[in-house]
Structure 1
Amino acid sequence: MTGLATFLEAHLEQGAILVSIERAEGSTPRETGATMVVTAEGNSGTIGGGQLEFHCTDIALEMLASGESSRRLDIPLGPQMGQCCGGRVGVVLERGRPCHLAALQAAEAARRASQPAVLILGAGHTGRALAEALMRLPLSVILIDDREGQMHDLPVGVACQRLDDPVEAIASAQPGTAFVILSHSHALDYRLTEAALLRGDAAYVGMIGSATKRARFAASFRRRHPASDALACLTCPIGGDDVDDKRPEVIAALTAAELVRSLLAKQRASGQSVAQGRQGPGRRAGDDGVAA
């Protein structure tokens, strides 16, 4: 997926219009700051789709043809616009310049640096499917395995790492990392899950498995760490147990939704707190490991 900065850079000389939401009131398709780039050859990004986006694209194309440099719009999202959101947006359209490119590049770098980290520990069928499901989301994802030759034929853009002992990745991860554990071995799953839980600062710890597998792990964990309450932070099975479908792609889709809800909701809540300060068990099998 091409970033806005890359797209703008490729079309800066021939002409491009940046279309941005500078004000969003009430119910709107996108938030303040949402941006797309319009050129005579096509667009990149979105300000929410629908008639709002069609209307702004038409105006941007008019600006490209006439040489107009900037325009501001105040648009109610009601019947006249063919939208039923009911909110109102302020839109700014500007001819792309090098300063816009630099700003987009800086913003994209900042977003990448702030994206929640997800370590997928196990590059079997489900681990690979999960990496593919997450690669287009605003998450920093690394697929890790201890086996040679396990990282072949991965889609472009999926970061991967082979470690003799994947526990090293857990030990060196940043606070707030999410750990998804679905290796080829129950014993390795247990060791990785224990290490992730004992950190005490993970945003998410999930282990593929069944009710039996969870119970066995929990019994072992309590014997080894009787004073710890970290088990309350374990998600097992990953993806929930309300869909009885063990295909890797299905488990990956359910787990991806679970991670988005967990990580991005926490990220949003954390951002809101900063702004205010300034003013069960189930069943799931799959992957190489057997959910006993």
Structure 2
Amino acid sequence: MAIDLDTLTKATERGPVARVVITRVAGSTPREAGTAMYVWADKTQGTIGGGRLEFDAIARARDLLVHGTIAEHVYPLGPRLGQCCGGSVTTMTEVFTAQTLPNLPYVRSVSGAAPIPPRIAQKATRLQPTERPISIDHWLIETAPPAVRNLWVWGAGHVGRALINTLAPLPDFKIHWVDISADRFPDHITDGVMQIIAADPARMVANCPRDAEHIILTHDHDIDFALCHGLLHHGFDAAGLIGSATKWARFTNRLMQLGHDRQSISRIACPIGDPNLGKHPQAIALGVGAALLAQNATTTTPKTGTA
């Protein structure tokens, strides 16, 4: 998977940090390749699997914070390490600071060797953003982050809050969260989520990128309809509306009366979510989140229902 620059940048704000990333696994292991954790002199964030493996990885990372910049290590997960998984894990540990991060290359040598060998460069050009980091002959290869997906969540009710809690930790989304007043939102807004208070949410549509994705789930059907109407005029990559089939039939008729053609209207998915998961707000959020993760930014939200 692509390097998580947002998390890495925030991590360096506390000072020098060592990122431990699993680049290769064999046999039975506690975590998969691509899993990363962050180690400072006084704390850690994330996990590569716990137990003696993680204990040793943290100790090596803290030593690297003082004495080095990048190191590779192979951990056999047998009796010698005090673990019984039976496989092996290869990690790459690297120290970053706020000063070194902006110049971060995505192909790096443990030994500091340069230039990049042709076969390493060729492998790097073929690595897709969704693929895990790999290490070859003590070179670390990982991809740049994919383009961030602009997601606008309209409505801060129960389903909106559940959806934000589900999606906000993911690095793929830049989330704008819109509702009509401050008291509609929770007291604490998750880091990285932009809160927008708009007495008339539909007027905010003009400020949305035309490649944005939208989930409409406000407390008011009139606001929902105005957002659908506005987005059809403005343009969007994908849009989903919470509601029943009856609600969507009424919306479709009204939107056609305003001059929108049926093909354009059909790009707005309604209902949203996965009916097999139920109608609890968190269940709806899980269904919507899974659909968003399963699709490319240019596809529409699957038409599976919620009430």
TM-score range, shorter chain: 0.5 to 0.7
- Partner residue of 1:57? 58
Q: Does 1:222 align with 2:225?
A: no
Equivalent residue for 2:113? none
More helix by share: 1
Offset of residue 120 of structure 1 = 1.4
Residue 164 of structure 2 is matched in structure 1 by: 131
| Candidates 242, 257, 274, aligned match of 2:290 | 257
Aligned match of 2:32 in 19, 29, 34?
29
Q: TM-score, normalised by structure 1?
A: 0.67
* Contact 2:176–2:194 (8 Å) recurs in 1: yes
Structure 2 unpaired stretches of 5+: 1-5, 105-143
Q: Structure 1, unaligned stretches of length 5 or more?
A: 105-109, 270-279, 286-292
* Alignment correspondent of 1:231: 265
Question: Compared with structure 1, are the counterparts of its residues 198 and 159 closer, same or farther at alpha carbon in structure 2 (3 Å cutoff)?
Answer: same
Q: Deviations over 1:33-76 (max 9, x none)?
A: x7543234332355x546865653343345468x3554334679
- Residue identity matched to 2:8: L
Partner of 2:9: 5
Q: 1:171 aligns with which of 182, 206, 228?
A: 206
Say if 1:182 and 1:43 are closer, same or farther in 2 by CA, change over 3 A: same
CA shift at 1:203, angstroms? 2.7
TM-score of the superposed pair, with normalisation by structure 2: 0.64
**Amino acid aligned to 2:40:** T
| TM-aligned CA distance change 1:193 to 1:118, over 3 Å | same
Q: Matches of residues 34-53 of structure 1 in structure 2 within 5 Å?
A: 36-45=37-46, 48-49=48-49
Q: Which residue of 2 aligns with 1:284?
A: 306
CA contact (8 A) 2:216 2:241 kept: yes
Alpha-carbon distance in structure 1 between the residues aligned to 2:219 and 2:97: 51
1:145: which partner in 2? 179
1:159 match: secondary structure? strand
Q: 1:159 aligns with which of 176, 194, 199?
A: 194
Q: How far apart in 2 are the matches of 1:6 and 1:191?
A: 37
Could you report, residue by residue, the CA deviation over 1:153-191 in whole angstroms, capped at 9, with x for unpaired residues?
243534221223212222221122111111222222122
How far residue 232 of structure 1 moved from its aligned partner, in angstroms, is 2.9
Helix, strand or coil for the counterpart of 2:14? helix
The one-letter code sitting in structure 2 at the alignment partner of 1:7 is A
Structure 2 residue 243 is the aligned partner of structure 1 residue 242: no
Asked whether the 8 Å contact 1:4–1:45 carries over to 2, the reply is no
- Which AA in structure 1 matches 2:212? T
The answer for the alignment partner of 1:71 in structure 2 is 71
Q: Deviations over 1:242-271 (max 9, x none)?
A: 2332x3233223222222323xx448x9xx
Asked whether the equivalents of residues 272 and 305 of structure 2 are also in contact (C-alpha less than 8 Å), the reply is no
Distance 2:179 2:158 in 1: 12
Secondary structure of 1:284's partner? coil
Contact kept? 1:143, 1:159, Cα under 8 Å: yes
Q: Residue 10 of structure 1 aligns to a residue in which SS? A: coil
